[in-house]
């Protein structure tokens, strides 16, 4: 019986410690096919302001990443991408079929910058 009590206490302590340290999590994924480019980032909510500042400067547009947003961002007239975000999560979806190579390269460079900011 004593062993079960110790095991339960250790398990509870480990779970408590693990839950408190989950704020540093980072998950980045990129899918690049012939027709679509998709980027997804799951990150610590504390990095939202830093990411928002970066996107505002690069896109020359104020995006409230701490709110739930789903919008199309215009790159240069004909090229645009879908940006969905909320605290701790962001996705960029770019349709290559209706866009130029320059637009694709700009979105790809943007996502590389996002990766850099989130891994700092």
Mean pLDDT of 65-85: 89
pTM here is 0.76
What percent of the chain clears pLDDT 90, i.e. is strictly above it? 59
CATH topology of domain 24-119: Gyrase A; domain 2 (3.30.1360)
Element (H, E) at 81: strand 80-86
Digit-coded pLDDT (tens) for 13-71: 444 444 443 456 899 999 999 999 999 999 999 999 899 999 999 988 888 888 899 99
* Stated length of the chain: 120
| CA atoms of 7 and 109, how far apart (whole Å) | 49
Is it the case that residue 108 has pLDDT exceeding 50?
yes
């Amino acid at each position: 019986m004593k062993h079960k009590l110790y095991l339960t206490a250790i398990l509870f302590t480990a779970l408590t410690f693990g839950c408190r340290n989950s704020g540093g999590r980072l998950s980045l994924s990129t899918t690049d096919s012939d027709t679509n480019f998709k980027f997804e980032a799951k990150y610590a909510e504390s990095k939202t302001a830093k990411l928002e500042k970066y996107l505002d400067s690069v896109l020359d547009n104020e995006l409230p990443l701490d709110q739930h947003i789903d919008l199309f961002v215009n790159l240069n007239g004909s090229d645009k991408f879908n940006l969905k975000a909320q605290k701790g999560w962001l996705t960029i979806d770019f349709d290559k079929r209706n866009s130029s190579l320059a637009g694709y390269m700009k979105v790809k460079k943007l996502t590389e910058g996002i990766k850099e900011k989130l891994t700092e």
